[in-house]
């Protein structure tokens, strides 16, 4: 079952650990591969300086039937894992870097993600 993904994020909707964050403004699923691609982009852009927090975890199993398979015969095996994202959820947080470095790194990470995001800081 896909489940329901409605409402706003009530938990994890503020920058708690770092100075800057990437907040989702759209809803959807983030696969573990997308999260890892965004993490690598941030690490490359910041030259691994500063501290990075990943505030989401892919704990929802997504199943997929093989191509050209007939209907029925039960539920398909797990294909990959995904994290459920609601509007307002902070996905990444950064600390120990300047604002322009954080802004460019999180923008590079946002390009890897399928949901719309915005840059937030602790001052907001």
Q: What is the mean pLDDT of each run of 10 residues along the chain (124 residues)?
A: 90 96 97 98 95 97 94 93 97 97 97 97 84
Q: 10 in a domain, yes or no?
A: no
Nearest in space to 83 (alpha carbons), one of 107, 109, 103, 54: 54
Q: 52 in a domain, yes or no?
A: yes
Q: 71 in a domain, yes or no?
A: no
What's the CATH number where 36 sits?
A: 3.90.1170.10
Range of the domain at 54: 20-63+77-121
Q: What's the total number of domains in the chain?
A: 1
Q: What pLDDT shows up at residue 32? A: 97
46: number of CA atoms within 13 Å, CB side?
Answer: 26
Q: 9 in a domain, yes or no?
A: no
Give dist(CA 81, CA 7) in Å, integer.
Answer: 22
* 46's tokens: 């910041």
Q: What pLDDT shows up at residue 123? A: 81
Q: What pLDDT shows up at residue 52? A: 97
Whole-model pTM: value is 0.93
Q: 1 in a domain, yes or no?
A: no
Give dist(CA 63, CA 107) in Å, integer.
Answer: 30
Q: 87 in a domain, yes or no?
A: yes
Beta partners for residue 92, in sequence order = 22, 54
């Amino acid at each position: 079952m896909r489940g329901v993904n409605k409402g706003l994020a009530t938990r994890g909707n503020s920058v708690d650990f770092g100075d800057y964050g990437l907040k989702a403004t759209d809803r959807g699923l983030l696969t573990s591969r997308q999260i890892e691609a965004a993490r690598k982009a941030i690490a490359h852009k910041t030259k691994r300086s500063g501290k990075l927090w990943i505030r989401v975890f892919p704990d929802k199993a997504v199943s997929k039937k093989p191509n050209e398979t007939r209907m029925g015969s039960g539920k398909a095996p797990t294909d990959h894992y995904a994290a459920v994202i609601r509007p307002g959820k902070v996905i990444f947080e950064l600390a120990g870097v300047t604002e322009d470095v954080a802004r460019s790194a999180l923008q590079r990470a946002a390009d890897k993600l399928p949901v719309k995001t915005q840059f937030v800081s602790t001052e907001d």
